[in-house]
């Protein structure tokens, strides 16, 4: 197999089975590490055989599809036989939350190391030597400053949004804020990845072009015709001990506000996936997902695609779900632009990977930060309903920030 990569001569692609590579993250060189890891399995990549900035606009996913079809073999996605999801050439991607914002990117790494179900493989593109792995560096002391809004300003914005919802303008909106972390020395993304993967094994630890995080929310996994999604919305804190934990979990399951917030998210996923699927299963009741920092209402959605839509086509149909946008989508997006006062960049956008067969896994980039040198912009948001309490939403956002603060500080 070969990839076009815009060169006159296609580059050879080789996928070879390898023995157990151990910790996948330990193979990453310092510069441009790509990762998508959960419970020790997944794929990591390094080097850049091809990279493209996806132009902003409503056609960005279609544009990305065309680019990928040209680069990953040109035959289009359906039917390309490459030995299972994630074998052959793979592209990692991150799309901005706002379709009109610049910053969406697709990268085909020069090398990809992967493990699934106890099977491991290495894919290389071209004949350039693989990078050497240098020791992981500590960034030193971390200090934090407000991003676009201070905490009281953000609480005020939450109160205004809740009032607009009570006035009947919309049903739900997700509002986020940012914090700016500054380290003494340049931040080594690999250190963040290894801390995140260790502490949040159930989440998807990811790294794409400086966007790093551990998201619990699987937007979509496509394996042939089969798709699955983990929809999250509705949050409570962890308890002070097992009994308090159980009580808080039970209260979350019984909370009308959180159930409504969750139902909005499920409804948006059903609306997006329905037309693409020959069958679609959504549970009647959410369950609890208990993470080290928070507990969520969670619904595992499964389905079967009716035709040959690639995972990116499905992403295009789903983004933004009401777990990160709101209901109705267009009014919520407008209110986010009006009230948040910041560019979300890749936060709450789709992040993940796709192979030449159109299979892949994409998450919603939550519990994440954008790392540039010594600085990282951290993001956290909350679903706002008419009866939201600003102080409680601020506390929830702070609990969500803890994921990346832990990654930075250990
Ligand atoms: C928007 C975020 O979380 C979403 C996902 C799970 C629970 C959420 C909530 O309860 O508000 C949010 O919808 C975030 O982590 O920044």
Q: What is the pLDDT of residue 72?
A: 85
Pocket test for ligand 1, best of 268, 336, 381 (most atoms within 8 A of CB): 381
Q: What lines the ligand 1 site, CB under 6 Å?
A: 174, 176, 217, 232-235, 296, 323-324, 366-367, 380-383, 400
The structure tokens listed for 337 are 């632009």
DSSP string for 22-87: SSGGGG--SSS-EEEEETTEEEEEES-SEEEEPPPSTTHHHHHHHHHHHHTTSS-STT---SSTT-
- Residue-wise pLDDT for 188-215, tens only, equals 999 999 999 999 999 999 999 999 999 9
- Residue-wise pLDDT for 337-394, tens only, equals 999 999 999 999 999 999 999 999 999 999 999 999 999 999 999 999 999 999 999 9
What total of structural domains would you count in the chain? 1
Q: Could you say which of 155, 172, 340, 393 is catalytic?
A: 172
75 Cα: distance to centroid of ligand 1 (angstroms): 38
- Closest atom of ligand 1 to CA, residue 381: 16
- Closest atom of ligand 1 to CA, residue 258: 10
The structure tokens listed for 400 are 């969500």
**pLDDT at position 314 over 60:** yes
Is 334 one of the annotated active-site residues of the chain?
no
Q: What is the pLDDT of residue 127?
A: 79
**pLDDT at position 76 over 80:** no
Domain membership of residue 48 (yes or no) is yes
Q: At what angle do helices 151-166 and 390-409 cross, to 10 degrees?
A: 140
Pocket test for ligand 1, best of 323, 325, 336, 340 (most atoms within 8 A of CB): 323
**pLDDT at position 80 over 70:** no
Domain containing 397: what range? 2-132+143-409
Domain membership of residue 222 (yes or no) is yes
Q: What is the pLDDT of residue 2?
A: 55
Pocket test for ligand 1, best of 219, 233, 327, 342 (most atoms within 8 A of CB): 233
**pLDDT at position 6 over 50:** no
Q: Could you say which of 217, 340, 361, 393 is catalytic?
A: 217
| Phi, then psi, of 153 in degrees rounded to 5 | -65, -40
Closest Cα to atom 10, ligand 1: which residue? Answer: 234
Q: What is the pLDDT of residue 34?
A: 98
C-beta of residue 179 within 8 angstroms of C-beta of residue 21: no
368 Cα: distance to centroid of ligand 1 (angstroms): 12
Query: What's the mean pLDDT when you consider all of the chain?
Result: 94
- Closest atom of ligand 1 to CA, residue 234: 10
C-beta of residue 264 within 8 angstroms of C-beta of residue 326: yes
The residue count for the chain: 410
- 140 confidence band (pLDDT: 50, 70, 90): very high
Spatial separation of the C-alpha atoms in residues 158 and 146, rounded to whole Å: 17
Q: What is the pLDDT of residue 146?
A: 97
255 Cα: distance to centroid of ligand 1 (angstroms): 16
C-beta of residue 379 within 8 angstroms of C-beta of residue 214: no
327 Cα: distance to centroid of ligand 1 (angstroms): 14
**pLDDT at position 327 over 70:** yes
Is residue 403 helix, strand or coil? helix
Domain membership of residue 138 (yes or no) is no
Angle at 48 between CA 44 and CA 49, to 5 degrees: 110
Spatial separation of the C-alpha atoms in residues 269 and 312, rounded to whole Å: 15
**pLDDT at position 79 over 60:** no
235 Cα: distance to centroid of ligand 1 (angstroms): 7
Q: pLDDT > 90: what percent of the chain?
A: 90
C-beta of residue 113 within 8 angstroms of C-beta of residue 43: yes
pTM of the model: 0.96
- Map tokens 């934090």 to a residue: 144
Domain membership of residue 307 (yes or no) is yes
ipTM above 0.95, yes or no: yes
Mean pLDDT confidence for 106-130: 91
The structure tokens listed for 256 are 């009308």
Mean pLDDT is lowest, of 79-93, 130-144, 227-241, 350-364, for: 79-93
C-beta of residue 395 within 8 angstroms of C-beta of residue 123: no
CATH of the domain at 310: 3.60.120.10
Question: Who contacts 168 (Cβ-Cβ below 8 Å, separation ≥6)?
Answer: none
**pLDDT at position 1 over 60:** no
- Residue-wise pLDDT for 25-35, tens only, equals 999 999 989 99
381 Cα: distance to centroid of ligand 1 (angstroms): 6
- Residue-wise pLDDT for 154-183, tens only, equals 999 999 999 999 999 999 999 999 999 999
Q: pLDDT > 70: what percent of the chain?
A: 95
Nearest to 382 by CA among 368, 402, 396: 396
Closest Cα to atom 7, ligand 1: which residue? Answer: 233
Is 257 one of the annotated active-site residues of the chain?
no
Domain membership of residue 137 (yes or no) is no
Q: What is the pLDDT of residue 308?
A: 86
251's enclosing H/E stretch is helix 242-254
Mean pLDDT confidence for 308-335: 97
Q: Dihedral sign, CA of 396, 397, 398, 403?
A: positive
**pLDDT at position 78 over 60:** no
């Amino acid at each position: 197999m070969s990839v076009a990569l815009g060169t006159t001569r296609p580059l050879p692609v080789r996928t070879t089975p390898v023995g157990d590579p151990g910790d996948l993250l330990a193979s990453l060189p310092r510069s441009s590490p790509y990762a998508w890891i959960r419970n020790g399995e997944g794929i990591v990549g390094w080097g850049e055989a091809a990279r493209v900035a996806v132009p902003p606009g409503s056609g960005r996913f279609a544009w990305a599809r065309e680019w990928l079809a040209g680069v990953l073999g040109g035959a289009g996605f359906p039917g390309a036989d490459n030995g299972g999801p994630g074998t052959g050439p793979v592209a990692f991607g991150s799309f901005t939350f706002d379709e009109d914002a610049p910053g969406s990117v697709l990268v085909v790494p020069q090398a990809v190391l992967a493990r699934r179900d106890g099977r491991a493989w290495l894919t290389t593109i071209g004949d350039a030597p693989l990078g050497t792995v240098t020791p992981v560096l500590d960034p030193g002391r971390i200090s934090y400053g407000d991003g676009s809004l201070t905490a009281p300003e953000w609480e005020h914005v939450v109160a205004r949004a809740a009032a607009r919802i009570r006035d009947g303008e919309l049903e739900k909106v997700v509002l986020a804020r940012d914090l700016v972390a500054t380290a003494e020395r340049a931040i080594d993304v690999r250190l963040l990845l290894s801390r995140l993967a260790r502490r949040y094994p159930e989440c998807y630890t990811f790294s794409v072009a400086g966007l790093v995080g551990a998201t619990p929310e699987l937007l979509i996994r496509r394996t042939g015709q089969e798709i699955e999604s983990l929809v999250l919305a509705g949050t409570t804190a962890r308890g002070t001990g097992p009994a308090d934990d159980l009580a808080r979990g039970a209260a979350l399951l019984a909370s009308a506000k959180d159930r409504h917030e969750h139902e909005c998210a499920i409804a948006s996923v059903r609306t997006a996936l329905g037309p693409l699927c020959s069958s679609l299963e959504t549970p009647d009741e959410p369950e609890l997902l208990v993470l080290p920092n928070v507990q969520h209402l969670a619904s595992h959605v499964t389905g079967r695609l009716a035709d040959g839509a690639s995972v990116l086509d499905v992403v295009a149909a789903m983004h933004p779900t009401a777990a990160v946008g709101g209901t109705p989508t267009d009014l919520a997006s407008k209110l986010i632009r009006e009230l948040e006062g910041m560019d979300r960049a890749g936060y709450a956008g789709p992040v993940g990977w796709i192979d030449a067969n159109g299979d892949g896994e994409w998450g919603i980039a939550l519990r994440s930060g954008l790392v540039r040198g010594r600085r990282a912009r951290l993001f956290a948001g909350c679903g706002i309903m008419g009866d939201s309490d600003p102080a409680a939403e601020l506390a929830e956002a702070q609990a969500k920030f803890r994921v990346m603060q832990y990654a930075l500080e250990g």
